[in-house]
Structure 1
Amino acid sequence: MTEEPYRARRAAGGAPPPASPRTEAPKKEGARRRGWKIAGIIMASLAVLVIIAVVVAFSYLRSLQTTFDDNRETIEGLDLEDDSAYRTPEGTVNMLLMGTDSRGDDEQDYRDATGEGAERSDTMMFVHIPADRSGVYVMSIMRDLWVEVPGEGMGRVNTALGLGGYELAVDLVEEMLYTHIDHVAVVDFEGFSDLTEALGGVYIDNPHSFSAGQRNPAFYPEGTIRLEGSSALRYVRERQSFPTGDYIRVENQQRVVRAILERFLSAETLSNPQRIYSVVDGMTPYLSVDEGLNAETVAGYALDMRDVRSDDIHMFTMPAGEHATTSAGAEVILPDDEMMSLLRTSLAQENMGGFMDYIELVEQHENGEFGVPDEAEEDDLDEEEDEDPDDAGDSSASGR
């Protein structure tokens, strides 16, 4: 009788007896191989997802770049490379923003009153970005400011465009501020309508109620109001409703520009790719820029200023003096020579923060809050500016 090999029986509980090392080892090796296989599949899937995300992001950025470069209009014949570049510290960026003639109800009345029939810059803003990218300074220039127009004699600021095109307008601002302009952007006011719509509307604090327009007037109550589309356009155009017409209009324009910037820099917008695309797509058809202001340049500036928030954007109006009447009977605004000198020095010394502090002191005094800024305070400001060139030179991390 042949003996059967011994076979272990199951224990009473039904569990198999422990396997010998010789029988278990192959099972562990197989499990390990299956584990590596699963991990490999997961890593490969993650890699595919990352690649897809990169492709989508790149495609989105390329789409934005293409939209900007294809839709923008380049200002022909504008050469910004001149001998004024030495006037600004390395790394700073100065930009001249101009708004084209409005088509509001008061446009022809203004031309009739001033005798100006040529193209004019209805709005002019000077934008200064320091080398350390610590903030953005946006200065409105009064269009009726009476200044020396290079090669043309005395005239209003906004006549430069009609007399010599964008190049003369640039030369005028460079000489007024003794600085250099790196870029120029011209915006058709009609673009305000599409831009505010793309942002889903903007909110401003309107200090005084008023009506805009001679025909079918729009009413803007005092307090927080929402502007979108045509309501935003009419708000920034209006000047006849105010006793100090252009001053109030400039302030209104500053409010809307600030509201647009705050809305664009908000987390709600920056986390919404479709809204960003809508803003770029809606605005660029109304935008004319110098040849150097392309999508790549804009993206570089945006990266440099990624930490800038709405509180870092400072808006103010170029210092101006008294109203006057020219020998020809034109109503103009005279410049404030003392404050203009301080402004030029502050720009050259990269001390616009000190200049803004001084403006605040002056405004507080004018409002009766406390005493006049004395000569000692002015001397302190001058001393700060004298020290700033070395600091500015050390902090310049990027060239223009």
Structure 2
Amino acid sequence: MNRRRRLWLAAGLAALLAVIVVLAAIVAGSSRTSSGPSPSSAPSSVATGGTPTSTPSATQTPAPPAAVPAPPTIPELPASPMNILVIGSDSRANAREQNNQTITTGESSDQRSDCLMLIHVPADRHKIYGISILRDNWVDIPGYGASKINASLEVGGTPLVVRTVESLLGTHIDHTVMLDFNGFKTLTDGLGGIDVNVTMPFTASFETHHSFSAGINHLDGQAALEFVRERYSFVDGDYQRVRNQHTFLQALLTKLRSGIQTPAGVLGLVNFAANYLTVDQGFDPASVAILAYGLRTVDPGASVFFTLPTAGTGTSPDGQSIVIPDYAGIGEVAAALRDGTLPEYAAAHGY
């Protein structure tokens, strides 16, 4: 894959991960960005009687140089907080098509949310906060009843996921971004891979059974997918998986940062990511570009990721293994979101 192709893949994912992400969309591992073809300064020939000539005659007036287009601009993101819900679908098919089918017909689809994270972007945009919601949380899904939260995508598509999370956290979600397995792998490969610091070595229990050693590992799309999905290799299962997702996102955000410093590094690349991302109706490419560019001031190293509080594991009435929500702890997170005090909440809990 050539460098320009990587840059296109990259900036698209940067928009997602800047939304996360976001994650995301993706930036190549260099600070250079593609600004598109340069304009020609003048015609190379003049046609006379169907035969091109290389120089004008003495009676001809040379054509004036073509105007150089103004550099692209992107409006500044309004100085107000924003919540973006990032959904990782476990679809082996096409998550967008399945989602549209569910929304249109009301029929369930063969996909659930393998990853669910609320990204809170404060008004000052110095850092972002990522709040992971474990997929097996046993919650009330509006209009459906008690179930694992990941089932909301299956039975009602992204609108029902949004309603469920809004109900759980008592907060408004401004935008949604969904990415499926194939999109995740393609976008990561477009970046040329990601260097991730593995703190707990393991061997994946599925697909290629990739082995992750302690320290820095360079991950291509397939290895990255196994890294963020694995849970059976860990004593605490999904809890470590979410920590690995946080590790991956911080590594990715660090690599993305250089690609969203200029409008030229964002514009023209977001449309490519649109082939892989499912976003809400109001989140068009222009809106994604504004958000991605607005997050150029975010410090990935200062950003905070944590898991929504739980009260352990248990068994549902129908025999499923579930995670029990800690509603008192969730109430504290909800209050921090409502009151704009997430920094104080995070500091008090050691995040």
Which residue, out of 247, 250, 258, partners 1:255?
A: 247
Opposite residue 99 of structure 1, the aligned amino acid is G
Query: For 1:305, what is the secondary structure of its paired residue?
Result: helix
Rate the CA distance shift 1:232–1:303 in 2: closer, same or farther, 3 A. Answer: closer
Given that 1:198 and 1:279 are in contact with CA atoms closer than 8 Å, whether structure 2 keeps it comes out as no
Match of residue 187 from structure 2: 195
In our comparison, the structure showing a higher alpha carbon Rg is 1
Q: Tell me how far apart the structure 1 counterparts of residues 339 and 89 of structure 2 sit (CA, whole Å).
A: 32
Match of residue 22 from structure 1: none
Deviation track 1:37-94 (CA, whole Å, cap 9, x = no partner) reads: xxxxxxxxxxx89x63x44x43xx79xxxxxxxxxxxxxxxxxxxxxxxxxxx93211
The alpha-carbon deviation at position 338 of structure 1 amounts to 1.9
Q: Tell me how far apart the structure 1 counterparts of residues 184 and 200 of structure 2 sit (CA, whole Å).
A: 21
Match of residue 231 from structure 1: 223
Query: For 1:340, what is the secondary structure of its paired residue?
Result: helix
Rate the CA distance shift 1:272–1:304 in 2: closer, same or farther, 3 A. Answer: closer
Match of residue 169 from structure 2: 177
Q: Tell me how far apart the structure 1 counterparts of residues 302 and 139 of structure 2 sit (CA, whole Å).
A: 30
Does residue 336 (structure 1) correspond to residue 307 (structure 2)? The answer is no
Which residue, out of 322, 333, 346, partners 1:356?
A: 346
Q: Tell me how far apart the structure 2 counterparts of residues 102 and 236 of structure 1 sit (CA, whole Å).
A: 15
The alpha-carbon deviation at position 312 of structure 1 amounts to 3.7
Does residue 316 (structure 1) correspond to residue 297 (structure 2)? The answer is no
Match of residue 133 from structure 2: 141
Given that 1:202 and 1:260 are in contact with CA atoms closer than 8 Å, whether structure 2 keeps it comes out as yes
Query: For 2:306, what is the secondary structure of its paired residue?
Result: strand
Q: Tell me how far apart the structure 2 counterparts of residues 279 and 228 of structure 1 sit (CA, whole Å).
A: 21
The alpha-carbon deviation at position 240 of structure 1 amounts to 2.2
The alpha-carbon deviation at position 276 of structure 1 amounts to 6.4
Rate the CA distance shift 1:272–1:297 in 2: closer, same or farther, 3 A. Answer: closer
Q: Tell me how far apart the structure 2 counterparts of residues 102 and 210 of structure 1 sit (CA, whole Å).
A: 24
Match of residue 105 from structure 2: none
Rate the CA distance shift 1:135–1:274 in 2: closer, same or farther, 3 A. Answer: closer
Opposite residue 141 of structure 2, the aligned amino acid is V
Match of residue 221 from structure 1: 213
Q: TM-score, normalised by structure 1?
A: 0.61
The alpha-carbon deviation at position 272 of structure 1 amounts to 9.8
Given that 2:266 and 2:289 are in contact with CA atoms closer than 8 Å, whether structure 1 keeps it comes out as no
Q: How does 1:56-71 map to 2 (within 5 A)?
A: 57-58=71-72
Does residue 96 (structure 1) correspond to residue 88 (structure 2)? The answer is no
The alpha-carbon deviation at position 215 of structure 1 amounts to 5.1
Match of residue 55 from structure 2: none
Given that 1:194 and 1:283 are in contact with CA atoms closer than 8 Å, whether structure 2 keeps it comes out as no
Q: Tell me how far apart the structure 2 counterparts of residues 284 and 142 of structure 1 sit (CA, whole Å).
A: 27
Match of residue 125 from structure 1: 117
Does residue 287 (structure 1) correspond to residue 277 (structure 2)? The answer is yes
Given that 2:253 and 2:300 are in contact with CA atoms closer than 8 Å, whether structure 1 keeps it comes out as yes
Opposite residue 150 of structure 1, the aligned amino acid is P
Does residue 168 (structure 1) correspond to residue 160 (structure 2)? The answer is yes
Identity %: 34
Q: Tell me how far apart the structure 2 counterparts of residues 262 and 291 of structure 1 sit (CA, whole Å).
A: 29
Q: How many aligned positions are there? A: 269
Query: For 2:196, what is the secondary structure of its paired residue?
Result: strand
Q: How does 1:68-83 map to 2 (within 5 A)?
A: none
Opposite residue 163 of structure 2, the aligned amino acid is D
Given that 2:267 and 2:289 are in contact with CA atoms closer than 8 Å, whether structure 1 keeps it comes out as no
Q: Tell me how far apart the structure 2 counterparts of residues 211 and 178 of structure 1 sit (CA, whole Å).
A: 38
Q: TM-score, normalised by structure 2?
A: 0.69
Given that 1:325 and 1:332 are in contact with CA atoms closer than 8 Å, whether structure 2 keeps it comes out as yes
Two-structure CA RMSD over aligned residues (Å): 2.9
Opposite residue 347 of structure 1, the aligned amino acid is L
The alpha-carbon deviation at position 186 of structure 1 amounts to 0.8
Query: For 1:338, what is the secondary structure of its paired residue?
Result: helix
Name which structure has the greater RCO, CA cutoff 8 Å, separation 6+. 2
Which residue, out of 172, 183, 186, partners 2:178?
A: 186
Rate the CA distance shift 1:318–1:182 in 2: closer, same or farther, 3 A. Answer: same
Rate the CA distance shift 1:357–1:276 in 2: closer, same or farther, 3 A. Answer: same
Opposite residue 250 of structure 2, the aligned amino acid is R
Q: Tell me how far apart the structure 2 counterparts of residues 214 and 137 of structure 1 sit (CA, whole Å).
A: 30
The alpha-carbon deviation at position 278 of structure 1 amounts to 9.8
The alpha-carbon deviation at position 185 of structure 1 amounts to 0.9
Rate the CA distance shift 1:279–1:237 in 2: closer, same or farther, 3 A. Answer: farther
Query: For 1:329, what is the secondary structure of its paired residue?
Result: coil
Q: Tell me how far apart the structure 2 counterparts of residues 355 and 167 of structure 1 sit (CA, whole Å).
A: 28
